Amino acid sequence: MKLSGLMTLNAVIAGLFGIGFLVMPTQILSNYGITGDAGLDLMTRLFAGALIGFAIISWQARNVGDSVARRAIVMSFFVADATGFVVALMAQMNGVVNNLGWSTVALYLVLAAGFGYFAFGKTDE
């Protein structure tokens, strides 16, 4: 896969989850077996804002040529997705979420592996 394809995939995933968490946080979290209150809705919507920002960055940078800025974006996505993978896996292993949580673990793993590949391995598209 080319970096532009990974960035596009990242933009779509982050954008869809970001919009979903912004518009209906309680409903989406309930799919994962998570119940909450107004505080959780607030935190989920703040997370949604970050996801929407990631989507916009990823979409805008998807066709940018090799540069210091693009390498910084790729590294930041790698760190964010690797962190998300660890947190999601810990939550899954501790029973915080239901079996749907494995999809979150898998998404973060795939994205972290992809961005890691471009951050530490492949230098061209």
pLDDT digits (tens, 9 = 90+) for 36-89: 899 999 999 999 999 999 999 999 999 998 889 999 999 999 999 999 999 999
pLDDT at 123: 62
User: In Å, what is the CA distance from 99 to each residue of 22, 47, 83, 89, 123?
Assistant: 23, 22, 20, 11, 36
Dist CA 14 CA 2 (whole Å): 18
What is the per-residue pLDDT across 12-37, written as a single tens digit (0 to 9) for each?
999 999 999 999 999 999 999 999 89
Please work out, in degrees rounded to the nearest 5, the angle formed at the alpha carbon of residue 79 by the alpha carbons of 3 and 118: 25
Identify the three-state secondary structure at position 64: coil
58 Cβ neighbours under 8 A, 6+ residues apart: 7, 8, 10, 11, 14, 73, 77
